[in-house]
Chain A
Amino acid sequence: SQQGEEDPQALSIQEGENATMNCSYKTSINNLQWYRQNSGRGLVHLILIRSNEREKHSGRLRVTLDTSKKSSSLLITASRAADTASYFCATVGEGGKLIFGQGTELSVKP
């Protein structure tokens, strides 16, 4: 079952611009994670934000979490062509299962 819904499904921007992706989820969470997937490759963990945190930074990444709205956003600042990838949010369900959103496909044009 897919708990996370991501928006937009696809995003195309120019190098240097910021990219914002949103994720909504349905049930209560302890934390929310963001992963990145280069085309056809394995997912790579980017950042985890706990339910008692509102914002977290890691390099050019900024994640926010609004538990009242059951939503999170991932901001990539000063994007680069190498940021081109799909980005997924994930929450942890029953039995420790990661439940992924459908993903946002980001294309950064040089």
Chain B
Amino acid sequence: EAQVTQNPRYLITVTGKKLTVTCSQNMNHEYMSWYRQDPGLGLRQIYYSMNVEVTDKGDVPEGYKVSRKEKRNFPLILESPSPNQTSLYFCASSLGTRAFFGQGTRLTVV
């Protein structure tokens, strides 16, 4: 079954404690991206990757890092999380234009 898998689904952490949200897709898609979704602000792209070892900033990249060492994985790294990064995060992969989304990671930073 074609899918994008994110982990964890829920995470509560403290300010400054580094964390990684994993994302994996089984469709051999070249394009992967991370979004955050906040009430009133909609979905905003954080980072994207057009292929292995090729990543670029989206609209709201500050405070985040990504890596793309393999085609299937695209982890999102928060080196020093802050409360304003409390949000619902989605990973997506696409071939052409149609995107497949993960189930989301609800992150709370206290």
Q: A residues within 8 Å of B by Cβ?
A: 1-2, 30-31, 33, 35, 40-45, 48, 88, 90, 92, 95-98, 100-103
Contacts and interface: CB of A to CB of B under 8 A. Distances in A.
B75 interface: no
A42 B43 contact: no
Given A88-B43, A97-B58, A101-B42, A45 B106 contact: no
Contacts of B74: none
A1 B58 CA distance: 10
A40 B94 contact: no
B22 interface: no
A30 B31 CA distance: 18
B81 interface: no
Contacts, number: 56
Interface of B: 4, 31, 33, 42-43, 45, 48, 50, 56, 58-59, 88, 90, 92, 94, 97-104, 106
A48 B97 contact: yes
A97 B62 CA distance: 18
Nearest to A99: B45
29 contacts: A30-B97, A33-B97, A33-B98, A35-B99, A40-B88, A40-B106, A41-B104, A42-B90, A42-B101, A42-B102, A43-B90, A43-B92, A43-B99, A45-B98, A45-B99, A48-B97, A95-B48, A95-B50, A95-B56, A96-B31, A96-B48, A96-B50, A96-B97, A97-B45, A97-B48, A97-B58, A98-B97, A100-B42, A100-B43
